[in-house]
Amino acid sequence: MSANIVRETSLSQSDGLQFFNRGKVRDIYQTKDYLLIVTTDRISAFDVVLSDAIPQKGAVLTTLSAFWFDKIKDITPTHLITADFNQIVSKIPSLSKHKEELEKRVMLVRKVKVFPVECIVRGYLAGSGWKEYTKQGTICGIELPPGLRECDRLPSPIFTPSTKASIGHDENISFDKMVRLLGSKDAEELKNRSIKIYQKAHQYALSKGIIIADTKFEWGRIPAPNGISATNSPSGVKVALKGEKESGEIVLCDEVLTPDSSRFWPADSYSPGRGQVSFDKQFVRDYLESTNWDKSPPAPELPEEIIRKTSEKYIEAQKRLTGNC
């Protein structure tokens, strides 16, 4: 892995790319046919992007996402075309000169219309779920058995969607609200696929000594080339014009089952009844919680040691799950 830190990229039209979007962590560009997602080393906590970057983080998130996209491809189609830099260069040759900056942190994907809902699956009682349970015995309104301890495994995984707020914090919503937003067919589909992926990933990760306590998925729909999709055709009738077989397909997008989108705990030190040590950015959150920061920007700078340890945590998660780094 190269040691260079990338906090922000500025690829341009001369590279055959158009700027598309800058998220908290990712810089996204578009070509005529695809999106190029560059995962930087930026880190956000409590929805604020920190001024520090975490070495290797972008590469870890990209490698892990590509690994999982492949592993779960029997459950769902995904947006990933390739994360192999040579293959990407074969489609966008001008990128070869950015090899040092981009290699291992870039994915070529299909552009989708992202559903405005984050699909969260929880297998354990942690974080905001634990807080709600202690107050009212529920998580996001879902009734749970009494007597559970912090970080206990739930009887079965639960689906707790939230809105995807463009500014500020996401807000938990009931499944009924999700149905009202997306319609019951899509809402059920996203829920079922999300739970299936969680179950498969949880079982696999456990065999590698990692508990995936919870995770968040994002889903999108491939738009029809002429803007008419199965659900918005004027007649309301499903349209599949010649050559448009893929139109309207729902695919898993964004990142998947990374330490940013999930809580990963080492299985060997797991012990319910307390908070767990983790491989994810809980470590950074814990540090920030120990300061007096009011969670509005700017966030405090991270001490060198927290940056180094966070980087090590991310790399270890990747090593354990994929067997390489």
- Residue 308 DSSP one-character state: H
79 binds ligand ATP per the rule CB under 6 A: yes
Residue closer to ligand ATP, measured from CB, 116 or 134: 116
Closest contact distance (angstroms) between CB of 61 and ligand ATP is 9
Please state the φ and ψ torsions of residue 132, each to the nearest 5 degrees: -65, -40
Asked if residues 212 and 157 have their Cβ atoms less than 8 Å apart, the reply is no
Tokens at residue 82, please?
């390739």
Kindly tell me which residue out of 253, 284, 288, 302 binds ligand ATP, with binding defined by CB under 6 A: 253
Q: How far apart are CA 325 and CA 310, in angstroms?
A: 16
CB-nearer residue toward ligand ATP: 25 or 307:
25
Smallest distance, Å, CB 295 to ligand ATP?
14
220 binds ligand ATP (CB under 6 A): yes
- The least distance separating ligand ATP from the CB of residue 247, rounded to whole angstroms, comes to 15
Q: Please, which residues have CB within 8 angstroms of residue 103's CB and are 6 or more apart in sequence? A: 2, 85
137 counts as binding ligand ATP under rule CB under 6 A: no
Choose one: 16-24, 142-150, 173-181, 204-212; the region binding ligand ATP (CB under 6 A): 16-24
66 binds ligand ATP (CB under 6 A): no
Least gap, CB of 45 to ligand ATP (angstroms): 9
Give the residue from 111, 175, 165, 150 showing the smallest Cα distance to 271. Answer: 150
Piece of 107-115, 181-189, 192-200, 304-312 that binds ligand ATP (CB under 6 A): 107-115
Compute the distance between CA of residue 80 and CA of residue 119 in angstroms, rounded to an integer: 18
Only one residue has tokens 């969607």, namely 161
Q: Where does this chain touch ligand ATP (CB under 6 A) — which range of 4-12, 103-111, 145-153, 179-187? A: 103-111
Degrees to nearest 5, angle at CA 229 with 236 and 179: 70
List 7, 16, 23, 316, residue binding ligand ATP (CB under 6 A): 23
The encoded tokens of residue 76 equal 């769902």
* Cα–Cα distance measured from residue 15 to residue 36, given in angstroms and rounded to the nearest whole number: 12
Measure the CA–CA gap between 141 and 56, rounded to whole angstroms: 38
Exactly one of 111, 153, 191, 285 binds ligand ATP (CB under 6 A); that residue is: 111
Out of 6, 11, 17, 25, the only residue in the binding site for ligand ATP (CB under 6 A) is 25
Q: Does 109 bind ligand ATP (CB under 6 A)?
A: yes
Angle at 143 between CA 123 and CA 202, to 5 degrees: 10
Cβ atoms of 77 and 252 within 8 Å: the answer is yes
Indicate whether 259 belongs to the interface with ligand ATP (CB under 6 A): no
Kindly state whether residue 31 participates in binding ligand ATP, applying the rule CB under 6 A.
no
* Closest residue by Cα to residue 47 from 260, 271, 203: 260
285 binds ligand ATP (CB under 6 A): no
Quote the distance between the C-alpha of residue 185 and its chain's center: 23
Largest Cα separation within the chain, whole Å, is 61
Q: Which residue's Cβ lies closest to ligand ATP?
A: 23
Determine which residue in the list 28, 36, 119, 158 makes contact with ligand ATP, applying CB under 6 A. 28
- 17, 26, 62, 115: which one contacts ligand ATP (CB under 6 A)? 26
- Nearer residue to ligand ATP within complex by CB, 109 or 224: 109
Residues that bind ligand ATP (CB under 6 A): 21, 23-26, 28, 35, 44, 79, 109-112, 114, 218, 220, 253-254
